[in-house]
């Protein structure tokens, strides 16, 4: 499971990732990102979207090109066995 938030002017750190259509924007400067992932279900992706939104807001004004989202314990528990 791999998820990262990639700035619109950046490139993912891995090839073969799926780009999600939802934009995530910094509320202070409108720097935009999209989540890139390896095929997660929508219900799992929602949690990463919320975490990325929080992290992007917290990084203002020093936004990185790529933010790799580490899996949370809640996401790992929901992973099918």
* 24-62 pLDDT tens trace: 999 999 999 999 999 888 888 889 999 999 999 999 999
User: What is the average pLDDT value for the chain, to the nearest integer?
Assistant: 88
Position 63 confidence tier, pLDDT thresholds 50, 70, 90 = very high
Alpha carbon 43 to its chain's center:
14
Residues 6+ apart with CB under 8 A from 69: 3, 4, 5, 35, 48, 51, 52, 55
């Amino acid at each position: 499971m791999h998820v990262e938030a990639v700035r619109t002017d950046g490139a993912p750190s891995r090839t073969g990732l799926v780009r999600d259509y939802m934009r995530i924007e910094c509320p202070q400067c409108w720097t935009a990102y999209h989540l890139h992932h390896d095929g997660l279900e929508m219900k799992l992706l929602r949690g990463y979207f919320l975490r990325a939104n929080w992290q992007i807001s917290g990084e203002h004004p020093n936004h990185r090109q790529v933010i790799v989202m580490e899996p949370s314990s809640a996401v790992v528990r929901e992973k099918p066995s």
